[in-house]
Homo-oligomer: A and B are copies of this chain.
Amino acid sequence: MEQALTHPRLISLAAGFTDNPSLPVTETRAVLAELLEDEPGAQTALQYGKSGGDPRLVRLTAERLQAQDAAALPRKHSLPVNNYDPGRFLITHGSQQLLYLLMEALCDPGDIVLVEDPTYFVFLGMVQSRGLRCRGVRTTPEGIDVEHLAVVLERLRREGELPRVKLLYLVSYAQNPSGITTSLTNKSAALRLLKRDELAAGHPIYLLEDAAYRDLRFAGAEVASALTLPGASKRVIYTSTYSKPYATGIRVGYGVLPSQLAPVVHRLKGNHDFGTSNLLQCLLAHALDSGRFASHLTALRRRYAEKAAVMGEALKQHAAGLLEWREPQGGLYYWARLLGPGRTGPKSRIFQAALKRDVLYVPGLLCYADDPTRPKPDTEFRLSFGGASEEGICEGIARLARAIRSS
């Protein structure tokens, strides 16, 4: 990000920036004007609020999430509506803050977090800097590989490490980096496996579902969250964000917490900053209530679908035979793998050749946890179509292909 902000000739296919031209400038102007026009509303927005979150934003968030899950479930399934109780919600300064609070609340140094191979590298950096250990679980086109999860848990049981396992972290919708959406079947099977091993662990093992890209899906059928599963109320932690689907400059995330966890995470939030900026929360509540959030999101999804198609075309044109990839159903990324020999890590010839050609990507290597039980794959790329323009995407992929060919 730093590089992209200070080095304008660079084409960054690396940073998780969202698309600049589609930022909701008009919407935000209107929302803020309306919000601040009304004196009591303006005073609320400019004053301290409750540390757990603005009640109106909490209610709107809970209602929206419940509606999303209801729409994604087959008719015959009944929704566990208590799981969407506003009392279970916490609003944070971006969902990253919630992830941090959760790691603080749940994990001691040396504890083990199960993650997907590959997974969100900022999360990895954070957990590993806190002295936590990770074990990677393979993924399939349907999300987490449940059979491999069983193997990993069995190995941890044999090693006597189950008591250190605290949670499984799933980026479940249009995953960062792979673009994969985890099926409800797989989430359900994973939750059952975790539950099965709790007795041996001696404590709850949580399923932490990070749905940051749920709103940015532009293809594929709706998938209900793990909150709809049996036993979810006590074992599923759900986090998501308004930053990516609305505006990344407005850092507001949220989580749904099991009731036994809510007090400790709320207390930590109070210690961190006693509450997310009320102005940001009121802005989002008003954007949701006025329908501007929804209309912006519709436009944004269309925009990302177009940019994904542009990158897909560029890959076909420039990188056929060099790379393999899958069309993402949402999010901001293509995940691509070298077909021939070579590596893609920060010290690799390909990375250096790309840098020399002023194109930046996230090496796949960074998206794998330090897991002593397997080597890290070093032949993949995370390619973002979020921040770059259409021209930038095409030129960036062309440069990358030249860099690969030259290495």
Contact = CB atoms under 8 A, between A and B. Distances in A.
A20 to B, nearest CB: 5
A46 B17 contact: no
Copy tally for this chain in the complex stands at: 2
Interface string A45-60: 1111111000000000
Contact of A249 (B1, B29, B49, B130): B49
Contacts of A51: 1
A215 to B, nearest CB: 16
A48 B272 contact: no
A240 to B, nearest CB: 15
B29 A129 contact: no
Given A36-B32, A94-B273, A274-B96, A17 B249 contact: no
Nearest to A248: B48
Contact of A279 (B16, B247, B276): B247
A249 B47 contact: yes
A33 interface: yes
B20 A43 contact: yes
A5 B275 CA distance: 14
Nearest to A4: B48
A1 B248 contact: no
Nearest to A126: B271
A68 B61 CA distance: 43
Interface string A213-254: 000000000000000000000000000000000011111000
B47 A24 contact: no
Contacts of A16: 48
Contacts of A186: none
A249 B278 CA distance: 5
A271 B1 contact: no
Interface string A112-153: 000000000010011001100000000000000000000000
A185 B154 CA distance: 64
Given A47-B23, A48-B1, A273 B32 contact: no
A276 B17 CA distance: 15
A199 interface: no
Contact of A45 (B5, B33, B43, B249): B249
A269 to B, nearest CB: 11
A200 interface: no
A262 to B, nearest CB: 15
Contacts of A126: 271
Given A249-B279, A276-B93, A277-B251, A46 B28 contact: yes
Contacts of A278: 248-249
Contacts of A5: 49-50
Contacts of A325: none
Interface of A: 1-2, 5, 15-18, 20-21, 23-25, 28-29, 32-33, 36-37, 39, 42-51, 92-94, 96-97, 100, 122, 125-126, 129-130, 247-251, 267, 271-280, 282
Given A23-B42, A100-B272, A277-B277, 9 more contacts: A2-B50, A20-B43, A23-B47, A25-B39, A28-B46, A49-B249, A93-B276, A249-B282, A251-B273
13 contacts: A15-B48, A17-B47, A18-B48, A23-B47, A29-B33, A46-B247, A93-B93, A100-B273, A130-B271, A249-B277, A249-B282, A251-B275, A277-B280
